[in-house]
Chain A
Amino acid sequence: MAGLLATITVSHYLAVGAFFFVTGVLCMATKRNALGVLMGIELVLNGANLNFIAFGSQYLREETLGLDGQLIALFVIILAAAEAAVALAIALSFYNAHSTIDVDQGDELKG
Chain B
Amino acid sequence: MAEFFAQYMPAWGAYLLTALISVALLLAVVGLGALFFIWAERKVAGRIQDRLGPTRTGGKFGWLQSLADGIKLITKEDLAPADADRLLFRLAPYVSLAPSYAALLALPFADGWVGWEINTSVFFLLAILGLEVFGVILAGYASGSKWSLFGGMRQAAQVVSYEVPLGMCGVIPVFLCGTMSLTTIGNMQAGWATNWLIFHDPFTFMVFWVYFTCAVASVNRAPFDLAEAESELVAGFHTEYSGLRWSFFFMAEYNSMFVVSGLAAVLFFGGWNGPVPIFASWKAAGGGWEIVADLAGCLNFIGKAVLGVMVMIWVRWTLPRLRIDQVITTCLKYCVPLAAFCFVGALAWQLASLPSPNDWLSPDPAGRAAVREPWVERAEDGAERSGTSGAEELARLAEDKR
Q: Interface residues, chain A, CB within 8 Å of chain B?
A: 1-2, 5
B292: CB under 8 A from chain A? no
Per-position 1/0 for B1-38, Cβ under 8 A of A: 00000000001100000000000000000000000000
In angstroms, Cα B11 to Cα A2, docked, is: 9
Q: Least Cβ distance of A53 to chain B in Å? A: 15
4 A-B residue pairings within 8 Å (CB atoms): A1-B12, A2-B11, A2-B12, A5-B12
Q: Interface residues, chain B, CB within 8 Å of chain A?
A: 11-12
Chain A residues positioned under 8 Å from B12 (CB to CB): 1-2, 5
Q: Least Cβ distance of A7 to chain B in Å? A: 15
In angstroms, Cα B11 to Cα A5, docked, is: 11
Chain B residues positioned under 8 Å from A1 (CB to CB): 12
Q: Majority SS of interface residues in chain A?
A: helix
Q: Least Cβ distance of A38 to chain B in Å? A: 17
Top 4 nearest A-B pairs (CB, nearest first) are A2-B11, A1-B12, A2-B12, A5-B12
Q: Least Cβ distance of A57 to chain B in Å? A: 15
Q: Least Cβ distance of A78 to chain B in Å? A: 14
Closest B residue to A2 by beta carbon equals: B11
Chain B residues positioned under 8 Å from A2 (CB to CB): 11-12
Chain B residues positioned under 8 Å from A5 (CB to CB): 12
Chain A residues positioned under 8 Å from B11 (CB to CB): 2
Q: Least Cβ distance of A58 to chain B in Å? A: 13
Closest A residue to B11 by beta carbon equals: A2
Q: Least Cβ distance of B357 to chain A in Å? A: 37
Closest B residue to A5 by beta carbon equals: B12
In angstroms, Cα B15 to Cα A5, docked, is: 13
In angstroms, Cα B12 to Cα A5, docked, is: 10
Closest B residue to A1 by beta carbon equals: B12
In angstroms, Cα B12 to Cα A2, docked, is: 8
In angstroms, Cα B12 to Cα A8, docked, is: 16
Q: Least Cβ distance of A91 to chain B in Å? A: 16
Q: Least Cβ distance of A49 to chain B in Å? A: 16
In angstroms, Cα B286 to Cα A97, docked, is: 70
In angstroms, Cα B12 to Cα A49, docked, is: 29
Q: Least Cβ distance of A25 to chain B in Å? A: 26
Q: Least Cβ distance of A110 to chain B in Å? A: 31
Q: Least Cβ distance of A87 to chain B in Å? A: 17
In angstroms, Cα B12 to Cα A79, docked, is: 39
In angstroms, Cα B12 to Cα A78, docked, is: 37
Q: Least Cβ distance of A33 to chain B in Å? A: 15
In angstroms, Cα B14 to Cα A2, docked, is: 13
